[in-house]
Structure 1
Amino acid sequence: MSVDATGTSAGTALPPGIALCGIGDEAGASLDEQITALSTLGWGHIELRNVDGAAVADLDDAAFEHLVDRLAAADLTVTCVDSRIANWGRPITGDFEVDLRELDILAERCPRLGTRFIRVMSYPNDGLSEESWRQEVLTRMGKLAVRAEEAGLVLLHENCAGWAGTEAARMRELLDEVDSPALRLLFDVGNGVAYDYEAYDLLPEIAPYVAHVHIKDAIGTPDDAHYMLPGDGRCRVEDSLRFLLDQGYTGIWSIEPHINVRPHESLAVEGKGGVEAFIDYGRALERLVAKLAGERV
């Protein structure tokens, strides 16, 4: 399949300045599966989280060199590395040195991968008062941002787990208090179902600070979320993407299907293979994006 200059399969209409991508391990654990999925879609971009079952920061030197070589051979550009820094598995009472070490490793590896972006969250609470939680989050995120800026990196805070995970006012406060060009936002269209809020409602306050987008869709409740093709759930995927375009967003729209493979839940659903389901999801997004592009002709 031919690929045009945007890194998208030829013939796919895209709004100006937009490129499509996917989180590789949602297609499968192995690097082979991830490369196959993105190469088949013809998008030219991949977002990395786990490779052959290991986080990017945990790969040994040989495995990391193999990753760099394989991606180059496949002509895949890395858009972002999804770290574990401040995520749902690292509460605010955890050892901060663990996050600093991960950032230091990624500061060396991201330039080799060709990306400046690292996905982070903002620390789930673990028994602290609201004010103590807030202060410790702001302190830690400030230190992380300083280190990231020194390394020429940008931390992208996702609307997921942590102090600033679900409220636009807290996201803006986090950005204002840290006050660093090395901290921006990652907007996940579909996280609201799992965390019991309406993600679309965040956009009027945060859109100018969004530097990367994850796309998933779902119905249900936090205790019983069901993920589906983009546009088939209640997450207002089309409305969200249209809003971002209207606000001048340019950059990556990256799929995180959560349908057959959810690495952070150690879930692999029986049925259609992960690579095949990932490709189907990508094609569904292409159809939705082509509609948005047509509105702007």
Structure 2
Amino acid sequence: MKISGFIDEIDIGFEKEIEVVKKLGMNYIELRSVDGINVSDLSIEKVNEIKKTLQNESIKVSCIASPIGKIDIDEADFENRFEEHFKKFKHVLNIAQILEVKYVRVFSFFLKREQKEKYKDLILEKMKSFIKEISNLDIILLHENEKGIFGDDIESCLNLIEAMDSKKFKLIFDPANFVQVGVSPLKAYEKLKKFVEYVHLKDANFSSHENVLIGTGDGEILELLKELKRDNFKGFLSLEPHLINFSVLQSLEQEDVNERKAQFKDGEEAFKKSLETLLKMIEKI
């Protein structure tokens, strides 16, 4: 298992973030935003600058944490929005190739829970169009079980992955997101494990849905790590603390994040504590 993380949660600028991860001994990062700009909005010129910086520091990108698929499917202009969204998807694929990244994160569209059956066929059609676009590329799409999208519970994730039936479409497993939709992470892992290619490590409570330090919530993180070891998982464990109101947090959430209480003084402290906690957990398994 290899450790990566969302360094934009350190929240102090890309160059400083790289300094921090180097100090922490990390060799991989997950790229979601740079200096407050979403990865999907980065210019090719900026991407080439990022590549040079990473090469100089011997750091690799484990995954492009794109926002592709994070649009509401129940909108009158969805087809027009999807057309623009697909152009952005192609741009993300270019970024992944420049940075020599194998994995690109995607989502399966925002909708209300009761609308899943209504929009299922359309969602599957659009997800298949993503897969078709990478057919000749050395890229694998990773679907994350984000709350409030089609694939946010066990049944829907299974429906999605089985319908795609592709070696180029796998799952990111996020235990906190399962907690936030009332699903036991261990039960979810048992059903989905043969499709899991990548793991996001953040934790949350069933009662409040608030994110907490890994190992202190209902995400069953230690138990999950034991299961991953038992299954000989060799993929990435990517830290995503969500413990402070970092700069791009609001753009990732549908609800207002301003009322959330920061659990650490800053992002560097939160990230460092999360890494230390993970390493201690790994020692126990």
Q: Normalising by structure 1, what TM-score? A: 0.84
How far has the Cα of 1:129 moved from its partner? 4.4
Q: Does 1:279 align with 2:272?
A: yes
**SS at structure 1 position matched to 2:22:** helix
- 1:249 Cα deviation (Å)? 1.4
Structure 1 residue matching 2:180: 3-state secondary structure: helix
Mapping of residues 112-191 of structure 1, within 5 Å: 112-125=98-111, 129-161=115-147, 162-166=149-153, 168-191=154-177
Partner residue, 1:288: 281
Higher strand share: 1
Please give the alpha-carbon distance, in whole angstroms, between the structure 2 residues aligned to 1:281 and 1:182.
30
Distance change in 2, residues 1:236/1:109 (3 Å): same
**Cross-structure match for 2:240:** 256
Alpha-carbon contact 1:27-1:34 (below 8 Å) kept: yes
2:217 to 215, 224, 233: 233
Q: How does 1:51-90 map to 2 (within 5 A)?
A: 51-87=34-70, 90=71
CA offsets 1:175-230 (integer angstroms, 9 cap, x no match):
22122221100001221233332222111111011110000112253xx4333222
Pair 1:210-2:213 in alignment: no
Contact 1:121 1:165 (C-alpha < 8 Å) held by counterparts: no
Aligned length, in residue pairs: 270
In structure 1, the gaps of 5 or more residues are 1-17, 293-297
The CA RMSD over aligned residues, in Å, is 2.1
Sequence identity percentage: 25
> Deviations along 1:249-287, whole A, 9 cap, x unmatched?
111101000002453326684852211221121111111
Q: Partners in 2 of 1:173 and 1:271 — Cα distance? A: 38
Q: 1:142 to 1:128 in 2, by over 3 A?
A: farther
Q: TM-score, normalised by structure 2?
A: 0.88
